[in-house]
Amino acid sequence: MRLKTRFNAKAGFADLWDYIREPRPYRWTFLTISILIPLVAIAMLAQESHFRPPDAPKVTFISTFAEGRSDEEIRQTNIENQKRKEAREAELAELREQKVEAYKTLGRATGLDVDEMEREAQIENAREEAAAEARRRELYPAGTTVDDSGE
């Protein structure tokens, strides 16, 4: 069987024309709506939007160091910074020690055995350090060096 005989556009248009010519109420309204719905959908989908790419950021470099510093000046700055860092660390260690003493005083006032608690904490800290050392040895076998400073 041929496609031409199965799908005849001429017969389809003739049927449409006959259907339109029949006197029905609101036929032109329904025909207009049925044509407008797909046209509006196609028009909405066919709209093209062009978005402009964002402007490149303007970077301003701020340098607190003087241009052309010598190696000796850089070295001196690093030494001063290291001294400030060590002073801050010492101050933090002192504050931590004061905090521990305050908690010990509070513990003694409430009837706790703070000496036993301190011994348990030291044992726990030693255990954690040993586990960390074992992990370090596992990750870095003998013959390799590890810098503990995190650098």
State yes or no: pLDDT of 4 exceeds 80. Answer: no
* pLDDT tens for each residue of 17-35: 888 888 888 888 988 999 9
Write b or e for each residue in 77-87: b if 16 or more Cβ atoms lie within 10 A of its Cβ, otherwise e.
eeeeeeeeeee
Average pLDDT, the chain: 87
Tell me which of 50-59, 71-80, 84-93 is least confident. 50-59
Looking at residue 71, its amino acid is D
Percent of residues, the chain, with pLDDT higher than 70? 90
Q: What distance in Å separates the CA atoms of residue 26 and residue 35, rounded to the nearest whole number?
A: 14
Can you read off the two tokens belonging to residue 139?
A: 């990750």
Q: How confident is the model at residue 5 (pLDDT cuts 50, 70, 90)?
A: low
CA 81 – CA 122 distance, rounded (Å): 33
Residue with tokens 């004061």: 98
- Tell me the HSE value of 140 on the side-chain side, using a 13 A CA sphere: 9
